[in-house]
Amino acid sequence: MNPIAASLEGRHALVTGGARGIGAACARALLLRGATVTLAGRDGAALAQAAAQLDTLGRVETEILDVTDQASVLAGFARAARRAGRIDILVNNAGQAASAPFGKTDAALWQRMLDVNLTGTFHCTQAALPAMLEAGWGRVVNVASTAGLAGYRYVAAYVAAKHGVVGLTRALALEVAARGVTVNAVCPGYTETDMVREAIANIVAKTGRDEQQARAGLAAGNPQQRLVQPEEVANAVAWLCLPESAAMTGQAIAVAGGEVM
């Protein structure tokens, strides 16, 4: 048997925002390493479609929940654990990005960015962590952003939320460091996902640039002069989940072609 393919055999991973983009790529990477994976999110049809595309790789379950709603998270995580066993690996990937100049960032936009990106990570981690601590083994990987490590114009609320995710990662990692659980963040740069495609469309609408120019503008911040691919982020996530990565905790790893060092 390929030892890489069996490295997470017997482990149950739950991936939020698992229906598409980075979440679906993370699910695939974890399945290829032998884990059972639960795809979690709000869109049941999208989750079912993603599961159908992945189920030849291993056992895939789906769970409809809203990461911003604590009761929904607790109930959804309990159902997932009853179906597939204790959640050993949590990938907090669900997120949203919205742009506006700071002066036009209203309280509703600010709160939405915090609710989805930061509070959602808090709710999900609180739901999964007790069983990990009881078992003496667990992996929490938060998909943050280079916006959690640096500032960007016109996305103050998103930047603040993602900085919060990195801070939460570091604080919790210290709390649980001696108890067999690691907590890390992966910080992608601009990645070829629906979120970035929406950003490109927004740039086109607001600036008059064409799609190619807008895409090139986003890629220009990456020293490799390209957008990151979801699979590249997923490979970093999967590596942090391996038993061999037990010494990695409290880290915020940029997957961004050298944009942030």
* Residues noted as catalytic: 158
Residue linked to tokens 């604590």: 70
CA gap 59, 83 in Å, rounded: 11
Neighbouring C-beta atoms of residue 67, cutoff 10 Å: 27
Rounded distance, CA 229 to CA 151, Å? 22
Helix axes 230-241, 21-32, angle to 10 degrees: 50
Closest CA to 121 of 98, 148, 150: 148
Question: Rounded CA gap, 38 and 63, in Å?
Answer: 7
**For residue 181, what are the CA distances in angstroms to 81, 134, 139, 245?**
18, 10, 6, 11
Kind of pairing between the strands at 252-255 and 181-188? parallel
State the maximum Cα–Cα separation within the chain, in Å, rounded to a whole number: 58
CA 29 from centre of chain: 13
